[in-house]
Amino acid sequence: GKIQYDRLAKTELFQNGLNRILSGVKKGYRLALMCAEKEPLECHRTILVARHLAALGVPIVHIHADGHLETHEAALERLARMLNMWEDHMFCSREELVAQTYRRQEERVAYEVAEPTPSPVVKEVAQ
């Protein structure tokens, strides 16, 4: 009942979307992917779309509600601090820590299907 971003990112539809964005970037367009969220870290575009675009070398800049700009790397570092993720770990690489940071935030913000509310049972009364 909860979206799993890692599985979604492997779908053909998602990959087609990334390719469409990359095509626009290669043509020299400056693209803006908009959202209603005030905080980029609470938006799936940061946790899902920007993550994969950044991994492909696309520069990502988040626009905050007050107009200030934040690079994706700075946003990711802020997220790691917010989630109390440590920067250096004896048993994990930086890539593993980044993946764990994304997973933790995904758990917090991923869309979840609400439990359906049962319909009221109506019984006929024999007359």
Query: Is the per-residue pLDDT at 68 higher than 90?
Result: yes
Global model pTM greater than 0.85 = no
The pLDDT confidence band at residue 85, using thresholds 50, 70 and 90, is confident
Per-residue confidence (pLDDT) for residue 117, from 0 to 100? 63
CB atoms within 10 A of CB 33: 13
Dist CA 60 CA 78 (whole Å): 15
Mean pLDDT of 59-85: 93
Mean pLDDT of 81-101: 80
Per-residue confidence (pLDDT) for residue 91, from 0 to 100? 75
Dist CA 100 CA 80 (whole Å): 9
Beta-bridge partners for 62 = 70
Per-residue confidence (pLDDT) for residue 39, from 0 to 100? 93
